[in-house]
A and B are shown apart, each in its own frame.
Chain A
Amino acid sequence: DYSPFLGIEKGAVLQEARVFNDPQLDARRCSQVITKLLYLLNQGETFTKAEATGVFFAVTKLFQSRDIGLRRMVYLMIKEISPSADEVIIVTSSLMKDMNSRTDMYRANAIRVLCRITDGTLLTQIERYLKQAIVDKNPVVASAALVSGIHLLQTNPEIVKRWSNEVQEAVQSKAALVQFHALGLLHQIRQNDRLAVSKLVTSLTKGAVRSPLAQCLLIRYTSQVIRESGVNNQTGDRPFYDYLENCLRHKAEMVIFEAARAITELTNVTTRELTPAITVLQLFLSSSKPVLRFAAVRTLNKVAMTHPMAVTNCNIDMESLISDQNRSIATLAITTLLKTGNESSVDRLMKQITNFMSDIADEFKIVVVEAIRSLCLKFPLKYRSLMNFLSNILREEGGFEYKKAIVDSIVILIRDIPDAKEGGLLHLCEFIEDCEFTYLSTQILHFLGNEGPKTSDPSKYIRYIYNRVILENATVRASAVSTLAKFGAMVDSLKPRIFVLLRRCLFDNDDEVRDRATLYLNTLGDGSVAETDKEVKEFLFGPLDIPLKNMETSLKNYIQDPLEEPFDINSVPKEVKSQPLAEKKASGKKPTGLGAPPAAPASAADAYEKLLSSIPEFAAFGKLFKSSAPVELTEAETEYAVNVVKHIFDSHVVFQYNCTNTIPEQLLENVTVIVDASEAEEFSEVGTKPLRSLPYDTPAQTFVAFEKPEGVPAAGKFSNVLRFTVKEVDTSTGEPEDDGVEDEYQLEDFEVVAADYILKVGVSNFKNAWESMVPETERVDEYGLGPRESLAEAVNAVINLLGMQPCEGTEVVQSNSRSHTCLLSGVYIGNVKVLVRLSFGIDGAKEVAMKLAVRSEDVSVSDAIHEIVASG
């Protein structure tokens, strides 16, 4: 393939650039060299700072030539090189001369270059010329200045704002593009002044706007004004709506489209307002130009999300777009139809889509699948044909993501449309007979295990499941065994047959398969038709509410340090920690974190436990229930940084004060914290562990322990004073003096609150967990939370007050929402599981009302939760 740049090499070209220094410049040759340099840069070649500077200086020599073509290349080159501030000075005078040249081309481009490379001081020097240029007769010059102004507004707004008058004048220019640029700049200058923008819009919508681009700008500014002024309810019509509607009849298509789009994006737009816009968009749907069809169908797609009825007139045109060459257009058309279709058109639509699906790529197919899912949920009675459709495409060729999307959709339909369950499960069974993705097979088998036993005739699924045990790979076989066991556990009549099948699994090649079969055979009873023990069901199939990471860590610790007793699963901390297990501090290493506990900043509960149990005074307190996050007791940048971690036990609390000494000239000894618990009546101090030595920049701890009533979430406020002996240290030798002085340092107060007694433990399926709790433990009550900043703020406040873990993403409140439901779970002291359902509502006066429903394993805990909210 021929190219004039074949074999081009940066070094050689830089050498060639020496011709710039010639006293007799060969303009053509110089132009060629610049082109080569620009080519290199364009291809991604980089210049070192030295090379760039070298080229820049050489290029500046070219100002001596009068050749116009060369001068333009010089302008390009300067912009590409982007000289630094001190280099710019070299060309400033040349460029300023060009800015006043008689040659319009020089004036315009010199302005653009100058404004690109300039700084504030230079700008004030040339400001005068720029203002003149804005109103220059030559439109190229005027536009150059205006466009530069738009850029400069970002960096030197005060200067550009002084040009308002000239820019105003330019807005009236007869040259279309000048008007466009001037309007853009004027709006930018005034955009924070609502009134000014409004006046601008008012005057221009009446006047003559010459260029389509300027009209588009005006439409956008008009929309902004409409948005900010709100609908005028008295007159019924929006201000400026007439102007927008008028633009729908403009000559230029871009203006028509901009106006139509603007109308569809009006807040709370009515069907009456939409109609003319949609009519126009409908015409575009049958244009010969793909860009128009695309723009129209994309806009209608958005409208269909909120006003499907308004778009139904376009359905016929849309249907013909299904076969559009441009697949983006086709997909948009289909997804729009899926939103606007009514129940009777669903069948016809499905037929058309079936042909369409084979033509498009996976990424489009997934979009369509999701749209079909929404459609089915909208018209649940149509589930049969939609489910058939999904099942059919599931059988065809497709990638993993696509098939997963289909399976997810079928699962959702099964869950939400009770009539669809039996058919849906059968479709899934047929699918796993021929599924190439292990992940999908196992997911489906798991799902079958949950849903199948609840159907009217579970036995019909057994054949499909058992076939997996015979035919598939080990992972799927193991999953199938578990599923069979679930059927056996939940459906007593099937037990004998399931046992027969499970016994066959004992001969499988794979360990896991055999292990599972053995487990189930030994726990599910004796194979007779008898009810499975509830505890067995819970053990085998109940959810594991312990974070796997913590389980792994605990198991690792256990293996390293095996005790006599078997591993106790209850000893695994349930709190979800964001950091991995803490490293042991290397001896002699000085960590620099202020007040950091001995291990990494947020150490796992394990590390705390080990630490506390290694201290004999505290070892007798029993199992550590919860450790709080560190609470700072000093401000930043103080001499001594202290934070406290509150450790909660059944009948005790231990405060661990992490201290850091930031003064190199001091060594602290015998450091303790004097705690005043006069505002914490239920607590009594039972012990302290002083810190013998606290040298510079080495965090260490001192502890104070309190006794409290057992099992009660006692609360209280604690005041603290750090007491120590301070010795001066000679920083050159590191040696402390022999004598020290006693001193004290006031710390901030902290509190122990109810939330400290609850562990944040999530549950994966809140609904199941809620139903598995005894209804008798439920306590419901309503509370008025008074006026609040926002619904989200109120929700967060309650979540923090209770200190429980939000589940299933319910801590996120949709903006503009008037109501919200939040699901929380946690473990209360005494190892009691607690679940909370909160319903919030906010009215126009921002008063928030809340309904609190609590279920737990112990009814007194439910009461306690209400106590916390009532007093919080």
Chain B
Amino acid sequence: ACPTIKNILLLDSEGKRVAVKYYSDDWPTNNAKLAFEKSIFTKTQKTNARNEAEITMLENSIIVYKFVQDLHFFVTGGDDENELILATVLQGFFDAVTLLLRNNVDQREALENLDLILLCLDEIVDG
């Protein structure tokens, strides 16, 4: 009954990984994970998620997401999860990264400070 997150993804403008963390067994192999990342990236590519967080469903999961500059933030939960809780996690992650990168939220800054991003992910979800 405790709310659970399935994964948090930070992808670049081509859908490639900047930093990802998986917390469930839904995607047991790395290939399965990459396939999921490709699906969700393709599905959301043409949408506009730069002001408000957007939301969609894929393969029995709910994904909330936000885009800024050339970075794509995704948070995934099960299809019976409270969507607003997921959105809160997304916002928390997003705000933390914004602070850590001193408002320069783009791919280059993120990679230069990958250690901070990884620590941030580690502190959001324990798993």
Contact = CB atoms under 8 A, between A and B. Distances in A.
Interface of A: 1-5, 31, 34-35, 38-39, 42-44, 72-73, 76, 79, 112, 147-148, 150-151, 184, 187-188, 213, 216-217, 220-221, 224, 253-254, 257-258, 261, 288-292, 294-295, 298, 325-326, 328
B83 A291 contact: yes
B119 interface: yes
Contact-residue size bin, chain B (C-beta under 8 Å from the other chain): 35 or more
B25 interface: no
B88 interface: yes
Given A4-B112, A257-B84, A43 B53 contact: no
Contacts of B64: 291
Interface string B76-116: 00000011111110000000000000000001100110110
A325 B48 contact: yes
A612 to B, nearest CB: 49
Most interface-central of B30, B56, B84 (chain A CB within 10 A): B84
Contact of B111 (A5, A261, A289): A5
B28 interface: no
A72 B118 CA distance: 11
Contacts of B2: 150, 184, 187-188, 217
A220 B53 contact: no
Nearest to A46: B30
Nearest to B33: A44
Given A151-B126, A253-B84, A254-B82, A42 B19 contact: yes
8 contacts: A3-B111, A39-B114, A42-B20, A44-B34, A73-B115, A254-B84, A289-B87, A295-B83
B55 interface: yes
B60 interface: no
A147 B55 CA distance: 28
B35 interface: no
A336 to B, nearest CB: 15
A31 B64 CA distance: 32
A3 B108 CA distance: 7
B122 A289 contact: no
Nearest to A3: B111
Nearest to B87: A291
Contact of B1 (A221, A261, A325): A221
Given A2-B108, A76-B122, A295-B84, A328 B1 contact: no
Given A4-B111, A38-B118, A291 B126 contact: no
B34 to A, nearest CB: 7
Contacts of A288: 52
A218 B119 CA distance: 30
Given A217-B1, A326-B47, A326-B55, 13 more contacts: A1-B107, A3-B111, A43-B17, A44-B34, A72-B119, A76-B118, A79-B122, A184-B2, A216-B3, A224-B1, A289-B52, A295-B83, A326-B56
Contacts of B82: 216, 254, 257-258, 261, 295
A-B pairs, top 10 by smallest CB distance, nearest first, are A254-B84, A295-B83, A44-B30, A35-B115, A291-B87, A294-B55, A220-B1, A147-B126, A184-B2, A291-B55
Interface of B: 1-3, 17, 19-20, 30, 33-34, 47-48, 52-57, 64, 82-88, 107-108, 111-112, 114-115, 118-119, 122, 126-127
A44 B2 CA distance: 29
Given A2-B108, A42-B20, A76-B118, A291 B1 contact: no
B88 A187 contact: no
Contacts of B115: 31, 34-35, 38, 73
Contacts of A294: 55, 83
A111 to B, nearest CB: 11
Given A184-B2, A224-B1, A328 B56 contact: yes
B38 to A, nearest CB: 13
Contact of B126 (A44, A112, A220, A289): A112
B108 to A, nearest CB: 6
Nearest to A329: B55
B25 to A, nearest CB: 13
Contacts of A73: 115, 119
A288 B33 CA distance: 32
A251 to B, nearest CB: 13
Nearest to B53: A291
A326 B114 CA distance: 32
A328 B17 CA distance: 26
A224 B83 CA distance: 20
B34 A290 contact: no
Contacts of A44: 17, 30, 33-34
A328 to B, nearest CB: 5
Nearest to A254: B84
Given A2-B108, A216-B82, A290 B114 contact: no
A489 to B, nearest CB: 49
A577 to B, nearest CB: 35
B111 A292 contact: no
Nearest to A258: B82
Nearest to B57: A328
A148 B126 CA distance: 8
A290 B90 CA distance: 14
A76 B126 contact: no
Contacts of B47: 325-326
B12 to A, nearest CB: 8
Contact of B85 (A39, A184, A254, A325): A254
B54 A326 contact: yes
Contacts of B56: 326, 328
A638 B7 CA distance: 52
A4 B112 CA distance: 6
Nearest to B126: A147
A177 to B, nearest CB: 11
A288 B52 CA distance: 8
A328 B55 CA distance: 8
A211 to B, nearest CB: 11
B1 A213 contact: no
A254 B118 contact: no
Nearest to B18: A42
Contact of B114 (A35, A224, A258): A35
A298 B81 CA distance: 12
A187 B55 contact: no
